[in-house]
Amino acid sequence: MTDPPRRIAVVGPTASGKSAVALAVAEQLGHTELLSIDSMQVYRGMDIGTAKPSPAERARVPHHLLDLVDPACDFTVAEFQREYRLAVAAIAERGTRAILVGGTGLYHRAVVDDLDLPGEWPAIRSGLLAEADLLGLAPLYARLAARDPLAASKIEPTNTRRIVRALEVCEGSGRLFSSFGPGLEVYPPSPIVQIGLRWDRDVLAARIEQRVHAMLDAGLVDEVRALREAGLSRTAAQALGYKEILAHLDGGRPLSESVEQIVVRTRQFSVRQLRWFQRDPRVRWVDVAGDPVAESGPVVAAALDA
């Protein structure tokens, strides 16, 4: 059996420069491949709004876990975990090493800690989603709180996807959703070194606004329009940037208002990301002031080359 490849992870909030750092280090060291740990970059055609690596960047360094499914399909963390394991096995066979890069916290923990993930019960999920559409989310959240208080305490009452998933597992498996794995509050030893990029909050907020406007200039509205015509799953349609542009296209909301909402919600999301990763005592933080590649690249390279 081939030993697992050497792996490190570059984590942090959106727009912190993770991808640029990972790409630069992989090119510098050679014999290194990149694994995208992003719940939305798995969707084909969702390129601009997810800041997916360009074809030119993918030609420079091998990338994995991109463009796995059509956006009309739902995709789960368990499916992502399976794809990750296949990619890692292939990297091991080639004798190269890998940098994990991305900001989707749950996906990150699922692969770094090889979480014990529950199965899928699509029929139960469909029934719960129909119930949510008919009666609203409050009754489902109340049911979850009664059945699995620990799980409910960790889920926002407005998060349809997570509430439905928790109830799906409870009803499908006969086990509490919170019983799977050691729990996200446990941080066991891991062979994967994690390097976190951290910015001054105001500076990161400005970077986020700049990136959102760059996405608009690159054709985000046209991308969302094309995806809408092809069909978007419930999960894909909730992606940051896509949800707000859909409100412009379908609901007549002024584009300027949708863009402002993208900026605000992305900044809020970045705060939640940072809190998620800062809870993990295993992350080694680099405070970046201006150039993430110059300031954190040597740290990442040293960790991978150790």
Same structural domain, 60 and 163: no
Express each pLDDT in 112-166 by its tens digit.
Answer: 999 888 888 989 999 999 999 999 999 999 999 999 999 999 898 999 989 999 9
Predicted TM-score (pTM) of this structure = 0.85
Spatial contact of 109 and 185, defined as CB atoms under 8 Å apart = no
Express each pLDDT in 170-199 by its tens digit.
Answer: 999 999 998 886 667 889 999 999 999 999
Of residues 278, 245, 279, 282, the one with CA closest to residue 260: 245
Same structural domain, 101 and 224: yes
Express each pLDDT in 54-101 by its tens digit.
Answer: 999 999 999 999 999 999 998 989 899 999 999 999 999 999 999 999
Same structural domain, 94 and 131: no
Residue 184 placed within a domain: no
Q: What is the end-to-end Cα distance of the chain in Å, rounded?
A: 23
| CATH number for the domain harbouring residue 237 | 3.40.50.300
Residue 290 placed within a domain: yes
Q: What's residue 154's pLDDT?
A: 86
Return the bridge partners of 30, or none.
none
Q: What's residue 117's pLDDT?
A: 85
Express each pLDDT in 278-295 by its tens digit.
Answer: 999 999 999 999 999 999
The runs of H, that is alpha helices, within 42-137 are: 55-60, 77-94, 105-112, 122-135
**CA Rg, the chain, in Å?**
20
**What residues make up the domain containing 26?**
1-115+196-306
- Distance (Å, whole) CA 96 – CA 93: 8
Q: What's residue 43's pLDDT?
A: 98
Same structural domain, 158 and 203: no
Q: What average pLDDT does the segment 23-49 reach?
A: 97
